[in-house]
A = this chain, B = another copy of it.
Amino acid sequence: MKSDKISEAVVRRLPVYLRYLNELHKREVTTVSSQELGQKLDLNPAQIRKDLAYFGDFGRKGIGYDVSYLIEKIRQILKLDQRINVALVGAGNLGHALSNYNAFLKDNMKIVAVFDAHPAKIGTSINNLTVQPMEELERTVRDNAIRIGIITVPDFEAQNVANQLISAGIEAILNFAPIILKAPAHIRIHTADFTTDLQSLAYYLDNGKEESAHEETQVDG
């Protein structure tokens, strides 16, 4: 299992599989086929089988995947069986929204500290965390073994915040500012700019209309 053989696209799909598998598990479904996964997740079943085969031989022909086993495996692969501490920088609306996300409390991944550069924000409380000044970033990251940083500051402040996170020892950044951050190659950066999601949706708008005239409408699920 070499990381450099697995494309980012595959790694990004694993949490999506995991989310649906958890949903199946809650409904006490014990096995699932790649066809069913594909239909639910809008992906080609062959693609799903290929993705999961990177990590081992999980499926059984004619039966499908064991839901519990696959959940456990994907959690291991994504290292969600470890405790991972996260710092959030930017205590605005988006920062509030993210820190309230209840999904966070699962999987041992947790925002343990919130920072902001603006005096009016410092000392206020978000989701039981007190907003700290940027001057405390380095010490807090070290003392709490924080490994991931989330950036929700305005774009013109984002590169500066990224630099501070990196020099504090952060290994990966989830960036919500609509700019491309510069960072050393060993720092992993994902940009979660929702405008790119919207723009890729626009691509499908007219096509959807043309196609729906030719196709029968299928109701999924």
Where the two chains meet, the residues of A that have a C-beta atom closer than 8 Å to any C-beta of B are 3, 8-9, 11-12, 14-16, 18-20, 23, 40-42, 77-80, 82, 84, 86, 92-94, 96-98, 100-104, 107, 109, 147-148, 150, 152, 171-174, 176, 178-180, 182-209, 211-212, 215, 217-221
Nearest B-chain residue to A173, judged by Cβ: B201
Distance in angstroms between the alpha carbons of A176 and B185 in the assembled complex: 30
Q: Is B19's CB under 8 angstroms from A185's CB?
A: no
Chain B residue nearest to A2 (CB atoms) is: B207
Q: List 10 A-B contacts (CB under 8 A).
A: A11-B203, A14-B199, A16-B191, A78-B203, A79-B202, A94-B97, A109-B198, A147-B205, A184-B219, A185-B219
Question: B198 to A174, Cβ gap below 8 A?
Answer: yes
Number of copies: 2
Closest to A79 in B: B202
Does A198 contact B93, Cβ atoms closer than 8 Å?
no
Query: Would you call A209 and B171 a contact (CB within 8 A)?
Result: yes
Q: Which residues of chain B are near A176, meaning CB under 8 Å?
A: 194
- Once the chains bind, are B221 and A182 in contact (CB under 8 Å)? yes
B79 touches A206 (CB 8 A): yes
Q: Which residues of B contact A187 (CB under 8 A)?
A: 208
Rounded to whole angstroms, the CA-CA distance of A117 and B23 in the bound complex is: 26
Q: Which of B93, B188, B195, B197 contacts A201 (CB 8 A)?
A: B188
Q: Are A40 and B92 in contact (CB under 8 A)?
A: no
Contacts of A190 in B (CB 8 A): 197, 200-201
The answer to whether B185 touches A204 (Cβ under 8 A) is no
Taking the nearest CB of chain B, how far is it from the CB of A29, in angstroms? 14
Residue numbers in B under 8 Å from A12 (CB-CB): 196-197, 200
Interfacial chain B residues near A208, Cβ < 8 Å: 171-172, 186-188
